[in-house]
Structure 1
C-alpha cells in the first residue's frame, strides 16, 4: 500500500532580513541566482497537486523577499493547494497582505523569537519585534487562518509561561511551540541554545497546562 505526500514544504529562498541564532538554513546559503524561477515553482505546485498533495508551506529564508510571492500564492491556490505563508513578517505591509489574501493565501504563520522585545531582537539580530506585534493586529482584521510560532531554547524557556500569555494577547487561532532544529546556525550555536533537562520537563508541564486552559479557544 502506497501513501501519497500530503504537504509540500517549498523553501523558495534563503534570503532573509533577520539573522536568527537558531536558523536551520545552511551556513553557506544559496544566492538569488540559484533560486528556482517563478515558472518552475508553478510547475512544481501543479505536479504536487496531481500527486495528491493538499497543502503547500511557503518558507525560506523569508519568502517575502521574493518579488513574485503574490504570483506564487496565486499559482498554488489555482492548483487547489491550501496555501500557508511561514514568515517573520518583516517586509509585510497591510497592502501587501491584502494582495496575498486576494491571490488565495489561506493561512499565515508569524514567528516570534520571544515575548520580551530586547531578547527577541537579540535572537533575531534585528529590531523586528515591535513590527511583528503590530502586524499580528493587522492579520486579525483579515479573514485568514493565523498561527503564531514560538521557537524555544535555553535562553527563553525559563519564562515560557510569560511567552504563552504574550501570544494569548495576540489572539491567533493556533499557537505553535517549537524547539530549535539543530542544523546550520542552530547546530553551530547549540551550546547557547540547548535546553537543560529541567527546562524540558517544565516545558512539557507548562504546555500541557496551557492546552487544557485554552481548550476551545486556541489550539496549541
Structure 2
C-alpha cells in the first residue's frame, strides 16, 4: 500500500462539549486551514487513490464550510462521513449535508440517561441536543450510527442505550474503548472481564434489534480476543489503513496520536508515508518482548501503541492458543 484507505480530516479542535475522556484535550489549539486549502487536501488524497474521508474534530459542524467540503469530496468520487456529537445537526444542516453527498454520520451518545450523558460530556443539556440531532439526521434517510465510549460511568446503561437508539431509527450502534490520550486515564474503563460481558450482551441485543454492531476497541488478544468473540479482526490501523490530518495540515498516525509525520500541503507524500515514525507504527515496533513470540501477534500486533505508553512493558501475558481467522 502506498496510501491509506481512509483519512480522518480533523477540521477543527474547537468543540462545544467538554468530555471527561476526550483524546483531543490537553489543549490543542492550532491554526485552521481555509476552505480552499482543505479542498487542496481532498484533491491530494484523491490523487493518491484514497477512497474515503471522514470529517471529524473537535466538532466538525462548527466549521461553516462543512457542507462545501462534503460537496467537494462527492465531486471527487470519495466516500465521506462525519463523526459528530450531533448537537448542531439542525434539520436544515442535516438535509444540506446529505444533499451535498454525505454517505454516513456517526453520532456520539454516551447514554440513554441524560444525567449520565451530560456528566460525561461536561455540558448540561447536551443529551437533549444530541438526541434531536440524531432524529434530524435519521429523517434524511442517510446511514446513521450511534457510538458510545465504554466507561465505568455508562456501562450499566449500555443495553438501554441500544434499545433507545434502535427506537430512534438508526442503522448501527458501536462501542469503543477509552483512547489513552488527552484526558483519558486508566481508571475510566471497566475491567476486561466486565468489558467482555458487556460487549457480548451488546452485540447480541443489537443483532436482535436489527442494528449493525461494531466494536472499535484495540486490545491485546491475550487480554481480550475480538476474533473469538465474533467481532472481527481488530488491530492498530494507524499509518496503514488510516491516517489523520490536523486542522493546520499536519499529518498524524491517527486522530488521537499526536506524532507529527509532516504536513500534507508542504511535504512530499512519500516522505510522510515512509517516514521512520510511520514505519515504526506500521511495523508494530512498539511491542514488548513478551509479545514477540506470541502465536497471535500477526492478528493482534500488540494492541494500541498509546496504551503501550501508559501500561508499561514488560508484562506477563496469559497463555494463548493460535487460531485461524473465521
Same fold (TM over 0.5): yes
Shift of 1:112: 0.4
Alignment check: 8 A CA contact 1:54 1:82 kept: yes
Shift of 1:212: 4.4
Which residue number in structure 2 is paired with residue 69 of structure 1? 66
Which residue number in structure 2 is paired with residue 213 of structure 1? 208
Which residue number in structure 1 is paired with residue 119 of structure 2? 122
Which residue number in structure 2 is paired with residue 18 of structure 1? 17
For structure 1, the residue ranges without an aligned partner over 5 or more in a row are: none
CA distance in 2 between counterparts of 1:208 and 1:120 reads 21
Shift of 1:9: 0.6
CA distance in 1 between counterparts of 2:189 and 2:159 reads 19
Which residue number in structure 1 is paired with residue 47 of structure 2? 50
Shift of 1:85: 1.0
Q: What is the TM-score normalised by the length of structure 1?
A: 0.90
For structure 2, the residue ranges without an aligned partner over 5 or more in a row are: 214-326
SS in 2 for 1:167: helix
How many residues align? The count is 212
CA distance in 1 between counterparts of 2:97 and 2:207 reads 34
Shift of 1:23: 0.6
Give the 4+ runs in structure 1 shifted more than 6 A. none
Using CA pairs under 8 Å that are at least 6 residues apart, name the structure with larger relative contact order, 1 or 2. 1
Alignment counterpart, residue 156 of structure 2, candidates 149, 155, 158: 158
Q: Radius of gyration: which is bigger?
A: 2
SS in 1 for 2:88: coil
> What does 1:82-121 correspond to in 2, within 5 Å?
82-121=79-118
Which residue number in structure 1 is paired with residue 309 of structure 2? none
Question: Which has the larger share of helix?
Answer: 1
Shift of 1:5: 1.5
Shift of 1:7: 0.7
SS in 2 for 1:186: coil
Shift of 1:211: 4.8
Q: What is the TM-score normalised by the length of structure 2?
A: 0.62
